[in-house]
Amino acid sequence: MASISFTGSTSGMSDILSKLTTNEQTRLTSVKAQQTLYENRDKAFDTLKSALEKLNTAAEALTKASSINKTSVSSTNTAFTATTDSKATNGNYSVEVKTLATAQSLISGEFASNTAQQGSATENNTRTLTISQPGQDKPLEIKLTDNQTSLVGIRDAINKANGNVGASIIKVDDDTYYLSITAKDTGSDAKMTISVTGDDTLNSKLNYTSDTGAGSGAMTQQTAAQNASIKLNGMTIERQSNTISDAIDGVTLTLKSQTATNSSETLSIAIDIAPMKTAVQNYVDAYNALQTTIGTLTKYTEVDPGSDAQSTSNGVLLGNRTVRGIQTSLKTQISSAQSGMDISTLNEMGVKQNPKTGMLEIDSDKLTTALTDNSSQVLDFFVGDGKTTGYATQVTNYLDNVLDSSKGAIQTAKDSIAATLKTIKKTYDRTQQSIEDTIARYKAQFAQLDMLVSKMNSTSEYLATQLAALSKSS
C-alpha cells in the first residue's frame, strides 16, 4: 500500500513565500516610477537654471556696454589732450585753442613784517573777512580775532576755512612781505571781491573789487580770471575750465597751450567694435543654448494613433507652465521695441529671430555698421536708464526675478517638486511597511502550516507503519 506524505516548507513553501514577497514588492513599482519622474524633473530644472544663469551673465555684460564699447584718440595733438568714453563716435574734428582758462591771483601791498598785527583793536575782538565769487552760492566769511590780523594769521585763517581760494605769503627780504590770494578755480566765475567789515584799518589794506578790467582796491590783480576759448569745427566755444567735457559727446578735451593764430589741430576719434561684437555674440549664443535646452526638456514624440501610452523619449518638462512662461517672456522681450530710442529693436542692429527655429541670428555687416556709425544709440538700446529701460537691463531684471533663490519661478518649481517628493516618500514608506507586515504575516502563517504539515507527516509515518504490520499479520 502506498505511503501517505505531506510536502513541508523545505520542499516548496520557501519558494511560495519568495514568490509572494516578489509579488508584494510590485506594489512599490508605481511609487518608484513617480519618485524617479519628480527627481528627474528636479534635475531638469537645475539644467534649465544653469542655462538661464548663462544667459543672465551674457545680458549683464551688455548692461555694462559703456565699459565694453571702446573708443580711442587716433590723432597726435600738442595743444590739447583728449580722452573718450562709450558715447564717443568715429569722427574728425578741427580744434583751435584760442585762450587758456586761468585763475585770478591778487597780491597785497608791501608789509614790513609777516607777524605784526595789521588791524585795529576792536571792542568785541572780531572782524569779518569776506571773499565773494560769482560761481559760489555763498561768500566765504572768515572771522578774525585781534591776534589774527598778521599776514600769517590771515593766511592760516583763509586756508583753514577750506573755501574756493588759497593764500600764501611772499617774502622778498626780511623787511618786505606780500599776501597773495589765488582762486582755486579758473574762469570768470571765480573772480574775487574782498572786504573786511568791523575793522576799517585792515579793510584799507585788503579790499578789492573786480570789474571787467584789472579791478580796484588795496590789492592788485596779478593774473586775471580768464575763460578757456576754442574753435571747434569753426564754432567758438567758451568754458570756465581748461577741461571741456560737454562740447563733443563722449570726448573730454584738456587744453594745454594755445594754437598759432588761425591754425588748428585735427582730433581723430576711432572706435573698437570687437569687444561689443563679442558681447552681442555671447548673448546670442547663450540665448540659443537656452532654447536648445528648453527644446530637449519639453520634447514631444508622436505615437501611433490610438496608442494609450506616450513615448518614453518625451522631455521630462513637457507641457510645464513655468518653462513655457519663461520661454514666452524672453521671446516677447526680443520682439518688443524700446520706446523713444533711435535704435529700438535687436533687428535694427542686425540681430533677428528665425521664425521657424526661434533661434537668434546675427547679420554681421549690419551689426558692424550699427556699432561703427551709431555706437551711442546701441549703448542706449542695451542699457537705457540702467533701471527699467534698455533691452539688456530689462532682461537681467526679469532673469534676476526668475532666478531669485527664495521666491523665483525656478525655486518655486523646485520647492513644489520637493514637497511632492516628500509626499511620495511617505507613500513609499507606508507601502514598504505594509509589504513587510504582509510578508511577516505570511511567514507566521507558513510557520504554523509547517508545524501542521510536520505533525501530519509524523502521523502519516505512524499510520503507514501500523498498516504495514497489519498487512503482514493477515
> What is the model's pTM?
0.61
Q: Indicate if 122 and 202 belong to the same structural domain.
A: yes
Q: According to the model, what pLDDT value does residue 12 have?
A: 63
Q: In terms of domains, do 62 and 127 share one?
A: no
Q: What is the pLDDT of residue 6?
A: 39
pLDDT (tens digit per residue) in 317-369: 998 999 999 999 999 999 899 999 999 999 999 999 999 999 999 999 999 99
Quote the mean pLDDT of the chain. Answer: 90
Nine-digit cell string for 226: 580768464
For residue 426, the SS3 value is helix
Asked, for residue 262, whether it belongs to a domain, the answer is no
Asked if residue 129 lies in contact with residue 144, where contact means CB atoms within 8 angstroms, the answer is yes
Q: Which of 160, 159, 199 is nearest to 179 (CA)?
A: 159
3-state secondary structure of 223: strand
CATH number at residue 210: 2.60.40
Residues 382 and 296 in one domain: yes
Asked whether residue 60 falls in the same domain as residue 114, the answer is no
pLDDT of residue 257 exceeding 60, the answer is: yes
Count of domains observed in the chain: 2
In this structure, are 147 and 35 located in the same domain? no
Which has more pLDDT, 442 or 354? Answer: 354
DSSP label of 266:
E
383 in a structural domain? yes
Q: How far apart are CA 300 and CA 310, in angstroms?
A: 9
Neighbours of 78 (CB within 10 A): 10
- Describe the strand order of the beta sheet including 80-84 as a list of residue ranges: 80-84, 251-255, 243-248
Length of the chain in terms of residues written: 474
Q: Please report whether residue 419 resides in a domain.
A: no
Average pLDDT of the segment spanning 6-22: 65
Angstrom distance (rounded) from CA 5 to CA 238: 124
| Cβ pair 108, 206 in contact under 8 A | yes
pLDDT at 280: 96
CA dihedral sign, ordered 242, 247, 252, 253: negative
Least confident range of 190-194, 263-267, 467-471:
467-471
Task: Produce one character per residue of 2-26: b if its CB has 16 or more CB atoms within 10 Å, e if not.
Answer: eeeeeebbeeebeeebeeeeeebee
Residue 7: pLDDT band (50, 70, 90) is very low
Residues 406, 288, single domain; the answer is yes
**Can you tell me the mean pLDDT for 54-72?**
89
Q: Residue 1: its pLDDT value, please?
A: 39
Residue 86 lies inside a defined structural domain of this protein: no
Q: Where a domain ends, among 412, 445, 463? A: 412
The reply to whether 284 and 392 lie within a common domain is yes
Residues 278 and 189 occupy one common structural domain: no
pLDDT at 196: 97
d(C-alpha 245, C-alpha 166), whole Å: 26
Establish if 324 belongs to a structural domain: yes
Lowest mean pLDDT among 129-133, 195-199, 246-250, 298-302: 298-302
**pLDDT grade, residue 117 (50/70/90)?**
very high
Residue whose C-alpha is closest to residue 161's, from 178, 144, 179 = 144
**390: Cβ–Cβ under 8 A, 6 or more apart, which residues?**
63, 338, 380, 381, 382, 383, 384
User: Regarding predicted confidence, which is higher, 166 or 304?
Assistant: 166
Please identify, among 379, 412, 445, the residue that sits at the C-terminal boundary of a domain. 412
Q: Is the pLDDT of residue 282 over 50?
A: yes
Residues 332 and 406 reside in one and the same domain: yes
The helix or strand, by DSSP H or E, that contains position 98, with its residue range, turns out to be strand 91-99
Domain containing 176: what range? Answer: 105-223
On whether residue 268 sits in a domain, the answer given is no
Residue 308 — very low, low, confident or very high, per pLDDT cuts 50/70/90? low
Q: Same domain, yes or no, for 284 and 403?
A: yes
Residues 143 and 215 in one domain: yes
Give the DSSP letter string of 149-195. -SHHHHHHHHHHHT-SEEEEEEEEETTEEEEEEEESS-SGGG--EEE
Where does the pLDDT of residue 304 fall: very low under 50, low under 70, confident under 90, or very high at 90 and above?
Answer: low
Residue 313 has pLDDT above 80, yes or no: no
- How many CB atoms neighbour CB 283 within 10 A? 26
pLDDT band at 312 (very low <50, low <70, confident <90, very high): low
Identify the sign of the CA torsion 22, 27, 32, 33: positive
Instruction: Clarify whether residues 278 and 407 are in a common domain.
Output: yes
Judged against a pLDDT cut of 90, whether residue 104 lies above it is answered with yes
Residue 55 resides in a domain: yes
The pLDDT of residue 69 is above 90: no
Residue 311 has pLDDT above 70, yes or no: no
Q: Which of 212, 288, 364, 401 is nearest to 51 (CA)?
A: 288
Domain-located, residue 422: no
**Listed residues 223, 256, 291: the one ending a domain:** 223
- Closest C-alpha among 50, 2, 145, 28 to residue 432: 28
Angle at 440 between CA 435 and CA 445, to 5 degrees: 125
Q: Which of 147-151, 184-188, 303-307 has the lowest average pLDDT?
A: 303-307
Which of 70 and 202 is assigned the larger pLDDT?
Answer: 202
Q: How far apart are CA 264 and CA 262, in angstroms?
A: 7
Looking at residue 469, its amino acid is A
